[in-house]
Structure 1
Amino acid sequence: MTTAHAQEEPEVVEDVFDGLATGVEVEGDGGADGSIVRPWDPALIRVSTNQFSLRNILDMIDEGSLELAPDFQRGQVWKTEQKSRLVESVLLQIPLPAFYFAEDSQGKFRVVDGLQRLSTLHAFARKRGEGFRLKGLEYLDENEKTFTDLPLQWQRRIYNTQLVVNVIDPTTPSDVMYDIFKRINTGGTPLNAQEIRHCMSRARSRDTLKTMTSMSEFNTATNGIGGHIRMNDREMALRFAAFWLLGMDAYMERPAMDLFLERATELLDNAKELPDSRINDLYEAFRSAMSNAHLVFGEHTFRKWPEGVTGRNPINRALFEIWSIALAPYTPEDLERRRTAIVAAARDRMTHDIEYLDAITASTSDRRRVEYRFQAAAEDAKAGA
C-alpha cells in the first residue's frame, strides 16, 4: 500500500447531462477514445449502401423487422423544437445524413446510427395521438399541426422521402461491429458505451439488466438511480453480471472493459450457454450484493468516502463493481457484526492508499488497476473476521 498522507484528496467530478447532474462520478478510463486499436482484417467489415423510402422504414418499424431499441430513453431528451425542425427539413427536402443499420442472421435490422432521428419521425408520422405538434418551425407555416393536420401533399412528401442507409452485414463480428458503431455514432448527443451495447443487444440481455436495475435493493443502495437517462444503471448491473459470470481470469485474458462487457452481453443473450436457471442465480446474487452493500455502507454505498468526509459523493462505477462482487457471498448477520471494521478498513484505504485511489479514479480499465482494486475490496470485506 502506498500512503497518501501528504496528498490532496483527488477532486470528485460528477457527470452532467443536458445541464443536470446524473448522480454518477465521471470515470477516467485512460484514453478510451473509441478508436479501433485492434488490427482488424478489412475483409471482416462488410457494409452495403441502400436507399429506402421513409414509408418503407416506418412500416419496418411497425412490423418489428427494424428495432428502435425498446426501453431506450435517450431519444426523449430531444426538445419539441428539435424534433419539429427535423420534420421541417424533410418537408423542405433537405437530404438527411446517412443512417446505419445492423442486420442480424434472421434478417432483422437494428439502428446503429440515426436512432433519435428515426424515433422522432416515427413518433410524428405513426403515433398519431401519442405524437407531437410542430413547434418553432423556421420556414414553413405549419406550427401546431400534427401529421394528420398537414395537407396530403406534405404527408406524401414525408412518406416518399428517400433515406440513404448503410447496412452492416450480419457476418461482421460483433466486436468489429461495436467499433464501427463507436466510430459512426455522431448524430445528436453521441451515445455512450452502454447505450451502444443496448442498441446492439437482444431482448434477453436488455430484460435481464432492466430486471436487475428495477430491484428495490438496487435502488435503495444507489439512492434510486434505476432508469438512469444515460443507462449508467444498466452498465453497473452489467459489470456485476460480467465479473460474477465470467470472473477475473476472463478479464485478464483480454483486459479491456468494453470487450469484457460486450462478451457478457452476448452471454446474457445466449439461452443455450446461459440457461434461465443461471439468470435466476444472477438475480439472487445481485439482490444479496445490493442489500449487503447498503447494510455496510448506508448512504455512502459505492461512493468515495475517505476519512474526514461527511458529504455524499456521486456513485463511483469502479467501487460499484468491486464492492458488489466482494460482498455478494456474505450473510447479512456476518456483515452486521463486522460492519464497523469493514467501513474503517475501506475508509482508511480511500484516505491513504494512492494506488487504490488511482485504481478507482483514472485508467480504470487497466489490468493492474482492476486486479488491485478487486483484491483490496476482497481484503477489506474480511475485516473484523
Structure 2
Amino acid sequence: MTSPETTDLSQIKEEYSVEGGLDVEEESESDTSPPEIDRPWKPEQIRVNSKQFSLRNALDMIDDGTLELAPDFQRGRVWKLGQKSRLIESVLLQIPLPAFYFAEDTDGAMRVVDGLQRLSTIHDFVRGGEKSGFALKGVEYLKTVVEGARFEDLPAPWKRRINNAQIMAHVIDPTTPPDVMYDIFKRINTGGTPLNAQEIRHCMSNKRSRNILKRMTSTDEFNRATKWRNHIRMNDREMALRFAGFWLLGVDGYAKYSAMDPFLQHTTTLLDDERAVPTDRAEQLMADFDRAMKNARLLFGEHAFRKWPLGGNGKNPINRALFETWSIVLAGYAPEDLTRRRDAIVEAARRLMTSDYTYLEAITASTGGLRRVKYRFEEAAKAAEAGK
C-alpha cells in the first residue's frame, strides 16, 4: 500500500473548546471531499411560526414542563457569573433579547433549541431562590442599583420589568420532518459558542433517547474504558449514539446515508420511538455496549479507542472512528475468549495503525465516506479474530 499524498496521518490533533482539551481526536475532512449529503428540501416542508411571550409566561411554561430546557445539557450552563449578570442587566435596561427558537411536539409541548443559555440564566435568577439562584455581580450600568442583589432583593418595579419583558420565539412546527428541523437549527446556530452536532441532537430529541444515551455513558465500564464522565461537550453521548446506530442498522444501514450526521439523526429518531426500538431491545443494546466497554479495557487498557501504533506508547485522544468500529466488533465476544488471545489481537490492531495506510486514512480523514467506514469495520473484525 502506498502512503496517501494529501493527508498527513502522523498528525493527531485534539479538539479544544473554551473549556480546554476535550480528549477526543479532531476529525479532518479533505478539501476535495464531496458534501456529505444533498438536501433539496421543499419550501413547504419548512414550517416556522413566530410567537411572542412575556418572560413570566416562558418561565411558567418551564416550571410546568410545557417548555423544556434539555436536561443534562452541561455545555449550555457554563456561562460565568459576570455573563449571567450582564444578561439580567440587559433585561432590566429593556434591551430586546435576540430571538429564541423552540421546537414544538405534536402534544403542544416545546423544547428550547436556541437560546438555552439565556433562558436557563433568567430562570435560575428569577425562580432559582437560594438553592440555584445567584446574586448579580459585574453589572456595568446599574452597579449602584442592583450589584449584589438577588431577584427577591429587587424593588417590585424592577421585578415587574423582568417578568413583563417580551421575547420573540420562532417555533418550529411538529409537522416539519426531523432532518429538516435539524438542518434549520444548524443554520441558525451561530450565537455565542455554537453547539456541536450532538448538542443540537440532544436539544431536539425526546426524553427516551436522552435517557438511553445517559444510561450507556453513566456506567463504571464506560468510565474505565474512556476516562470520561459527563463530558462537557457531550462527546460521550455521541460515541454511545454511534454505537447504537451501527448496532441497530449496521454498515448496510449506514450505506443509505453515507454521511454521519443524517445517520445519527435517524438513530436518535429510532431511539425515541418505542415501536422502532422496544424496551427489551433497548436493554439489549445497553448490555452489549457495556460488554464492549469491558472488552475494550480488557484488551487495550488506557489505549482503548485511541491510536496506538507499534513503537509508540503515548496516550492519544479518543478517536471516534476507532470507537464506533471496535465497540461494535467487541460487543460480540466473551471476555474469556479475548483474554486468551489478547496479545495476538492487540498486535494485529496496532499493526493496522502502523503500516496499513488505507486503514489509517479510514480512521483519520473524511471518515464518514462509505468506503472508509466499510474498510475500518472489515479490518477491525479480522483483527479481533487474531490468534484463533
Name the TM-score, length of structure 1 as normaliser.
0.96
Find the aligned partners of 1:90 and 1:334 in 2 and give their Cα distance: 63
Report the 3-state secondary structure (helix = DSSP H, G, I; strand = E; otherwise coil) of the residue aligned with 2:10. Answer: coil
Match for residue 204 of structure 2 among 197, 200, 217: 200
Please say if residues 66 and 108 of structure 1, whose CA atoms lie closer than 8 Å, have aligned partners that are also in contact: yes
Report the 3-state secondary structure (helix = DSSP H, G, I; strand = E; otherwise coil) of the residue aligned with 1:245. Answer: helix
Partner of 2:339: 336
Pairs within 5 Å for 1:217-256: 217-223=221-227, 225-256=228-259
Match for residue 381 of structure 2 among 365, 375, 378: 378
Q: How far did residue 143 of structure 1 move?
A: 1.1
Match for residue 366 of structure 1 among 369, 379, 384: 369
Please say if residues 29 and 365 of structure 1, whose CA atoms lie closer than 8 Å, have aligned partners that are also in contact: no
Find the aligned partners of 1:34 and 1:196 in 2 and give their Cα distance: 20
Pairs within 5 Å for 1:112-151: 112-129=113-130, 130-141=132-143, 142-151=146-155
Single out whichever of 60-69 and 20-29 deviates more from structure 2. Answer: 20-29
Find the aligned partners of 1:29 and 1:140 in 2 and give their Cα distance: 48
1:212-268: CA deviations, max 9, x gaps? Answer: 001111111112x12000000000001001100111111001111111111111111
Partner of 1:155: 159
Amino acid across the alignment from 1:200: M
Find the aligned partners of 1:75 and 1:35 in 2 and give their Cα distance: 27
Pairs within 5 Å for 1:102-117: 102-117=103-118
Aligned sequence identity (%)? 63
Find the aligned partners of 1:19 and 1:111 in 2 and give their Cα distance: 23
1:103-130: CA deviations, max 9, x gaps? Answer: 1100010111101110011111111111
Find the aligned partners of 1:95 and 1:262 in 2 and give their Cα distance: 33
Pairs within 5 Å for 1:246-325: 246-325=249-328
Task: Provide closer, same or farther for how the CA distance between residues 124 and 105 of structure 1 changes in structure 2, counting only shifts above 3 A.
Answer: same
Amino acid across the alignment from 2:90: S
Amino acid across the alignment from 1:226: R
Partner of 2:54: 53
Q: How far did residue 273 of structure 1 move?
A: 1.9
Name the TM-score, length of structure 2 as normaliser.
0.95
Single out whichever of 11-20 and 122-131 deviates more from structure 2. Answer: 11-20
Pair 1:173-2:173 in alignment = no
Task: Provide closer, same or farther for how the CA distance between residues 219 and 34 of structure 1 changes in structure 2, counting only shifts above 3 A.
Answer: farther
Single out whichever of 41-50 and 17-26 deviates more from structure 2. Answer: 17-26
The count of residues paired between Structure 1 and Structure 2 equals 382
Please say if residues 113 and 186 of structure 1, whose CA atoms lie closer than 8 Å, have aligned partners that are also in contact: no
Find the aligned partners of 1:204 and 1:315 in 2 and give their Cα distance: 27
Q: Which runs of 4+ in 1 moved over 4 A?
A: 1-4, 29-36
Please say if residues 37 and 259 of structure 2, whose CA atoms lie closer than 8 Å, have aligned partners that are also in contact: no
Task: Provide closer, same or farther for how the CA distance between residues 194 and 300 of structure 1 changes in structure 2, counting only shifts above 3 A.
Answer: same
Amino acid across the alignment from 2:139: L
Task: Provide closer, same or farther for how the CA distance between residues 114 and 35 of structure 1 changes in structure 2, counting only shifts above 3 A.
Answer: farther
Q: How far did residue 19 of structure 1 move?
A: 4.6
1:38-94: CA deviations, max 9, x gaps? Answer: 110011001111111111100000000000001111122100000111111111111
Find the aligned partners of 2:47 and 2:276 in 1 and give their Cα distance: 27
Partner of 2:39: 38
Please say if residues 36 and 258 of structure 2, whose CA atoms lie closer than 8 Å, have aligned partners that are also in contact: no
Partner of 1:186: 190
Partner of 1:14: 14
Q: How far did residue 36 of structure 1 move?
A: 8.1
Task: Provide closer, same or farther for how the CA distance between residues 134 and 364 of structure 1 changes in structure 2, counting only shifts above 3 A.
Answer: same
Partner of 1:100: 101
Report the 3-state secondary structure (helix = DSSP H, G, I; strand = E; otherwise coil) of the residue aligned with 1:72. Answer: coil
Find the aligned partners of 2:365 and 2:109 in 1 and give their Cα distance: 39
Task: Provide closer, same or farther for how the CA distance between residues 33 and 125 of structure 1 changes in structure 2, counting only shifts above 3 A.
Answer: farther
Report the 3-state secondary structure (helix = DSSP H, G, I; strand = E; otherwise coil) of the residue aligned with 1:163. Answer: strand
Match for residue 209 of structure 1 among 213, 221, 224: 213
Report the 3-state secondary structure (helix = DSSP H, G, I; strand = E; otherwise coil) of the residue aligned with 1:288. Answer: helix
Amino acid across the alignment from 1:22: L
Q: Which runs of 5+ in 2 are unaligned?
A: none
Please say if residues 189 and 195 of structure 2, whose CA atoms lie closer than 8 Å, have aligned partners that are also in contact: yes
Amino acid across the alignment from 2:12: V
Task: Provide closer, same or farther for how the CA distance between residues 43 and 313 of structure 1 changes in structure 2, counting only shifts above 3 A.
Answer: same
Please say if residues 29 and 363 of structure 1, whose CA atoms lie closer than 8 Å, have aligned partners that are also in contact: yes
Q: How far did residue 37 of structure 1 move?
A: 3.6
RMSD: 1.8
Q: Which runs of 5+ in 1 are unaligned?
A: none
Find the aligned partners of 2:315 and 2:281 in 1 and give their Cα distance: 35
Report the 3-state secondary structure (helix = DSSP H, G, I; strand = E; otherwise coil) of the residue aligned with 1:21. Answer: strand
Task: Provide closer, same or farther for how the CA distance between residues 270 and 62 of structure 1 changes in structure 2, counting only shifts above 3 A.
Answer: same
Please say if residues 2 and 352 of structure 1, whose CA atoms lie closer than 8 Å, have aligned partners that are also in contact: no
Partner of 1:66: 67
Please say if residues 302 and 315 of structure 2, whose CA atoms lie closer than 8 Å, have aligned partners that are also in contact: yes
